[in-house]
Every structure is written in C-alpha cells, then in structure tokens.
C-alpha cells in the first residue's frame, strides 16, 4: 500500500491536541504532582518504571543506582543528591540523559551524563 505525503497542515505540531514533544536536553529531571512512576529518556530510547516496583536506591560519588523489581537503572552525572532525594520522596516524573559531550560546556549544578538500564535476573 502506498502512503501519500501529508500536507503541512496535517503534520502534528506543538499546537496539536495531545501532542507531547521529546524533553529538552537542558532539563536533567522534572518533578510532578504525585507521579505514578518515572519516565527515563535516552537519545534514542525511552522507558517507564512505576514507583510501586522501586525497591532500593544507592547514591555514590557520581552515580545513582535504582533497583526496581525487574530492572536496574544506573544514572551517572553530577549533583545527583537532588535527584536521589526527590526520587526518595517520589516526586520525579522524568529523568533525561544529557550526554557526555555536553558536560564540559554545562555549568549547571545537576547534569545527567548517562543512564544505563538493564533487566534484573531472577534469582
């Protein structure tokens, strides 16, 4: 089946009801009013994990490890204590990887260098 090219008037944009754009690289995380979980954004991937499955968190010098029932998320960067404290209070709705190449030019106190995600093995 051939698809026709949409006219510019039919292409979704910011004014289209229900349209949600990809988060900005400038905001390392976002707070929400009683979010049910956390949306994690990487350059070519996004995933969501509910707070109900959050089990353990560990903050080290430049990494925050978050263990969920079925997943492990490791956030690397600077100023992560704020992210840690807000997740502990279940206020964080989104965490966004900003990338290593932008870290040197950023003077922001909080910077998310990398987000690593892997499924936890059942033991």
Predicted pLDDT of residue 121:
80
Question: What pLDDT does residue 94 have?
Answer: 94
In order along its 123 residues, the chain shows pLDDT tens digits of 455 565 555 555 556 677 667 676 677 777 777 789 999 999 889 999 999 999 999 999 999 999 999 999 999 999 999 999 999 999 999 999 998 876 676 788 889 999 999 998 866
pLDDT at 86: 95
Q: How many CA atoms lie within 13 A of 41 on its CB side?
A: 19
Q: What is the pTM of this model?
A: 0.77
Tokens coding 73: 């998320």
User: Domain map of the chain by residue range?
Assistant: 36-119
Distance CA 70, CA 113 (A): 23
pLDDT the model gives residue 28: 79
- Residue 92 has a pLDDT of 94
Please answer whether residues 71 and 81 qualify as being in contact, where contact means their C-beta atoms are separated by less than 8 angstroms: no
């Amino acid at each position: 089946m051939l698809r026709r090219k949409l006219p510019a008037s039919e292409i979704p944009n910011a004014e289209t009801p229900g349209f949600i754009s990809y988060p900005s690289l400038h905001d390392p995380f976002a707070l929400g009013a009683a979010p049910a979980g956390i949306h994690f954004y990487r350059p070519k991937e996004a995933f969501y994990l509910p707070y109900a499955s959050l089990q353990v968190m560990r903050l080290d010098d430049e990494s925050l490890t978050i263990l969920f029932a079925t997943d492990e998320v490791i956030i690397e960067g600077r100023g992560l204590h704020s992210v840690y404290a807000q997740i502990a209070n279940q206020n964080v709705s989104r965490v966004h990887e900003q990338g290593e190449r932008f870290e040197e030019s950023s003077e922001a106190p909080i910077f998310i260098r990398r987000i690593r995600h892997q499924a936890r093995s059942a033991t």
